[in-house]
Amino acid sequence: MRELSLYWKVCLTNGAVFVVGALALALSPARVSEQVLASEAVVLTAGLVLMLVVNGALLRLSLAPVDRVIRAMATVDLAHPGARLEQPSSGPGARLVEGWNDLLDRIEAERAAGGARALAAQEAERHRIAQELHDEVGQSLTVVLLGLKRAEDQVPPDLPEIAEGLALVRESARAGLDDVRRVARRLRPGVLEDLGLHSALAALASDFAALDRGHLTRTTSPGLPPLSSDAELVVYRVAQEALTNVARHAAAREVALSLTRVGETVVLEVRDDGRGVAELRPGSGVLGMRERASLVGGELTIESAPDQGTTVRLVVPT
């Protein structure tokens, strides 16, 4: 019976019920007159109801896994992988559930592999752009700064207005150079590669403090377990995106950034007391954080309420 298709399973179930009903009529003392009596009609009705009930119960037992798979198809959420149906012991339904679980395994594996390739390509593109900003734009601005300084030094003492104008232009060029360097650091976290996650988070906190968008408190627990390079990059990017959202949208007064150990996990939390939102609408930033978290087996949660701030929490297994 385990190897039969669902079609033959239904046919044999119905056939078995009909055969049992026919044998009951043939072997039992019950008979039907040419003109059906009331008592005979009652017996026939009872027999028919019994056959329908037995047939329905057997079909329900056989087809229940099919309904479970249909419900799972309607409610599956690939953003939260790992949900699987309980495997029946036998029958065509067992093969259907097994096939559905295998399909989810393949989809999640291919999705994770595709996401990893996409994020790797994104990081490589970030690295290339940061390198070009540093090597080309940064050097060009440095040459401009040196030229302006030389021109300012050559201005005659009796022309202070020209000297002041050159000084203002030079300071604007210096500010532009600082902006280019800051963008390059955000695109390529060199401090993460060179000095590790703690220093990278400290640099993020310093950059946020320079924006003057709220007072930031950074907390890091000592003795954190080591993370893989991919996990450290995910923690850094999530913290970076969360702080960027706070600076752009939250209008917060107090911001807390913490990295702690909870059991066998490392927990990153970014909390602010800003305006918050009643309903979170996932944009590209939130989706990107969720994708990154899933690649390292982590879990990202975002809690927000109007006028009560927002909390971004990332849990990464060690």
Residue 35 pLDDT: 65
User: Which bin fits 165, alpha (ψ -120 to 50), beta or left (φ > 0)?
Assistant: alpha
pLDDT digits over 167-224, tens only?
Answer: 888 888 888 888 888 787 777 777 777 778 888 888 888 888 888 888 999 998 888 8
pLDDT of residue 182: 78
Q: What are phi and psi of 79, to 5 degrees?
A: -70, -20
Structural tokens at position 6: 């669902």
> What pLDDT is stored for residue 270 in this prediction?
94
- Low-confidence spans in the chain with pLDDT less than 50: none
Question: What pLDDT, on a 0 to 100 scale, did the predictor assign at position 314?
Answer: 94
**pLDDT for res 313:** 94
How many Cα atoms occupy the beta-carbon half-sphere of 15 within 13 Å? Answer: 6
Residue 174 confidence (pLDDT): 87
Please tell me whether the overall predicted TM-score, pTM, comes out greater than 0.85 for this model. Answer: no
Smallest CA-to-CA distance from 163 within 171, 174, 141 is with: 171
CA 96 to the chain's CA centroid: 28
Strand partners, 268: 259, 314
User: Are 275 and 250 in contact, with CB atoms under 8 Å apart?
Assistant: yes
* Residue at token pair 């087996």: 297
Instruction: Supply the pLDDT for residue 140.
Output: 86
Q: Output the pLDDT for position 5.
A: 61
Q: First-to-last CA distance in the chain?
A: 46
